[in-house]
Amino acid sequence: MAERPEDLNLPNAVITRIIKEALPDGVNVSKEARRAISQAASVFVLYATSCANNFAMKAKRKTLNAGDVLAAMEEMEFERFMEPLREALEVFKKGQKGKKEVSEQRRRDKEKKVDCENDKSREEEEEDGEEGPMEEEQEVVEEEEEVEN
């Protein structure tokens, strides 16, 4: 590990913003206090990682997973984080799935294009009846014309 020690700090600007959001408006947080909280956060990450890693090792797994992190929170007596963490994870997973679906959709569209070229005449009849085609369909039409030419 050749990283510089400051690489193990979290960015001060973000930490400051999170602190400000947690406290009532107008509270003054001393520079020393901000630095201390930031260091405490790094120690928290290490402590949580080490706890979670113990759970993974007990289960003879090499990769830390979500269950290990949640178990670590319980062990560290931060049970209060577990519910918000579960909720956040669900949203995060949905976001990931959303991204996947978008790329799936793109892939399907591409396949459809290929199908269109193979099955040109039938598609053409269908498209004649459609007004105001979507952008992607327009692309398909253009491509078909190229093929015909």
Question: For residue 97, what are the CA distances in angstroms to 64, 91, 103, 105, 141?
Answer: 21, 10, 10, 12, 31
The one-letter amino acid at 67: G
* CB nearer to another protein: pick between 63 and 118: 63
The dihedral sign for the CA sequence 103, 104, 107, 112: negative
Binding pattern to another protein, positions 68-107, x when CB under 8 A? xxx--x--xxx-xx--xx-xxx-xxx--x-----------
Question: Smaller CB distance to another protein: residue 77 or 125?
Answer: 77
Q: How far is the CB of 74 from another protein (least distance, A)?
A: 12
Q: Which stretch binds another protein (CB under 8 A): 13-21, 98-106, 121-129, 137-145?
A: 13-21
Q: Tokens standing for 14?
A: 């973000």
How many amino acids of this chain bind another protein (CB under 8 A)?
62
Among 12, 43, 98, 105, binds another protein (CB under 8 A): 43
Provide CB contacts within 8 A for 15, sequence distance 6+: 34, 37, 38, 41
* 12 within 8 A of 34, measured Cβ to Cβ: yes
Three-state DSSP class for 48?
Answer: helix
CA proximity to 136, closest of 114, 110, 118, 103: 110
Q: Can you tell me which of 52, 116, 123, 144 binds another protein, judged by CB under 8 A?
A: 52
Q: Shortest approach of another protein to residue 91 CB, angstroms?
A: 4
Which residues make up the interface to another protein (CB under 8 A)? 1, 3, 7-8, 10-11, 14-15, 17-19, 21-24, 26-30, 32-33, 36-37, 39-50, 52-53, 57, 62-66, 68-70, 73, 76-78, 80-81, 84-85, 87-89, 91-93, 96
